[in-house]
């Protein structure tokens, strides 16, 4: 029998196909400013940025965070990377009968702390309880809305001083030959933090999740200007984010492997697990496409912030190649295809 498999929710090529062929085909056609068909981080309807995300992370408490912090950060980040200023959130809880109230309180308190860090409020929501076994502990849906970030227009004006750009938002399809690619810090931390505390693995990585709301950092980057595209490389990691950009923008991307910041502990854990750190999800990182003339300035601004202090310039969009290619540390060139799915399931 044909059925849903774990990889259908793992943020890679299998999930993209499921969404495109079975969801967008049936539910698309809204004609929104940024519609479902764009399959971008958020939609835009009448100038309102709209996002919905569900969180099923296992375990719910992990080094550096928990499902509550994750739910606020993930939704806020998807609104902010479009050039939106997140304003309000809607939280939907689905809870299993028998779930400890002390754990529930811990989660909601963590949500409150993260909301105040991000400058947003939960303004509506829903609470459902299902019988024992009906769900694995707790799942949270977090939806959110935002308005156009005040600095988005001046940012786009900086782009248009150098080249044409028709979009009014920071879309995955905005990249062009010559744009420089930045990453805001080390990749793979979140996925490795999750798996290292998961039952059955139990290895000590010493790695904490990077989960954090990035809207403050993004607002100050937009002040610098020249940013054409932004994405949070969550499930499927950096390689999935870059491949989505390349496909939607119709331009190649060339990445320098030795420039990608990866913690030694993450590298070691990935080697042990036989997975690529570039396929592993992040929850507090950004990939940024910026016009070449502004790349140094945006990089400097990133490094001024705690959340961007390990930022690097990792590559460039180029029409010389198709898809994503990586210059390896020994100088060879290899294709960097999108992963079928994130190698670590249920990380968010
Ligand atoms: Mg996203």
CA of 79 to the centre of ligand 1 (A): 8
CA distance linking residue 263 with residue 189, whole number of Å: 8
CA of 13 to the centre of ligand 1 (A): 15
Domain-embedded: residue 204: yes
Domain-embedded: residue 161: yes
Domain-embedded: residue 23: no
Chain segment 167-222, per-residue pLDDT in tens: 999 999 999 999 999 999 999 999 999 999 887 776 777 899 999 999 999 999 99
Find the mean pLDDT for residues 234-245: 96
CA of 133 to the centre of ligand 1 (A): 30
Find the mean pLDDT for residues 9-32: 93
CA of 78 to the centre of ligand 1 (A): 5
Q: What is the CATH number of the domain that holds 231?
A: 3.90.650.10
CA of 286 to the centre of ligand 1 (A): 9
Domain-embedded: residue 68: yes
CA of 231 to the centre of ligand 1 (A): 6
Domain-embedded: residue 288: yes
Give residue 202's pLDDT. 66
The dihedral of CA 186, 189, 191, 195: what is its sign? positive
CA of 28 to the centre of ligand 1 (A): 19
CA of 330 to the centre of ligand 1 (A): 32
Query: What domain range includes position 82?
Result: 42-335
Domain-embedded: residue 178: yes
CA of 39 to the centre of ligand 1 (A): 10
Chain segment 95-134, per-residue pLDDT in tens: 999 999 999 999 999 999 999 999 999 999 999 999 999 9
Find the mean pLDDT for residues 39-50: 97
Domain-embedded: residue 2: no
Domain-embedded: residue 342: no
CA of 72 to the centre of ligand 1 (A): 13
Residue 256 pLDDT greater than 70, yes or no: yes
As for how many domains the chain has, the answer is 1
């Amino acid at each position: 029998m044909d059925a849903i498999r774990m990889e259908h929710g793992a943020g890679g090529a299998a999930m993209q196909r499921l969404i495109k062929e079975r969801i967008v085909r049936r539910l698309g056609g809204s004609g929104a400013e940024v519609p479902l068909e764009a399959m971008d981080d958020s939609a835009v309807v009448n100038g309102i940025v709209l996002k919905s995300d569900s969180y099923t992370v296992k375990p719910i408490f992990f080094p550096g965070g928990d499902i509550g912090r994750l739910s606020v950060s993930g939704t806020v980040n998807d609104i902010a990377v479009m050039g939106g200023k997140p304003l309000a959130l809607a939280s939907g809880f689905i809870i299993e009968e028998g779930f400890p109230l002390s754990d529930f309180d811990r989660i909601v308190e963590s949500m409150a702390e993260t909301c105040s860090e991000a400058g947003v409020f939960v303004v509506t929501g829903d609470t459902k309880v299902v019988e024992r076994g009906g769900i694995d502990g707790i799942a949270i849906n977090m939806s959110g809305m935002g308005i156009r970030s005040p600095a988005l227009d001046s940012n786009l004006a900086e782009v248009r001083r150098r080249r044409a750009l028709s979009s009014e938002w920071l879309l995955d399809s905005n990249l062009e030959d010559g744009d420089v690619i930045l990453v805001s810090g080390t990749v793979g931390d979140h996925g490795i933090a999750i798996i290292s505390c998961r039952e059955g693995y139990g290895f000590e990585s010493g790695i904490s999740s990077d989960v954090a709301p990035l809207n403050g950092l993004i607002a100050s980057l937009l002040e610098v200007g020249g940013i054409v595209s932004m994405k949070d490389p969550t499930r499927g990691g950096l390689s999935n984010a870059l491949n989505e950009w390349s496909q939607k923008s119709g331009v190649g991307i060339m990445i320098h492997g030795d420039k990608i910041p990866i913690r030694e502990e993450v590298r070691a854990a990935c080697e042990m697990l036989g997975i690529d750190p570039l396929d592993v999800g992040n929850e507090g990182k950004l990939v940024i496409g910026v016009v070449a003339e502004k790349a140094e300035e945006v990089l400097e601004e990133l490094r001024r912030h705690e959340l961007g202090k390990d930022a690097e310039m990792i590559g460039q969009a180029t029409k010389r190649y198709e898809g994503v290619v990586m210059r390896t540390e020994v100088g060879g060139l290899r294709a960097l295809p999108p992963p079928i799915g994130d190698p670590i399931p249920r990380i968010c």
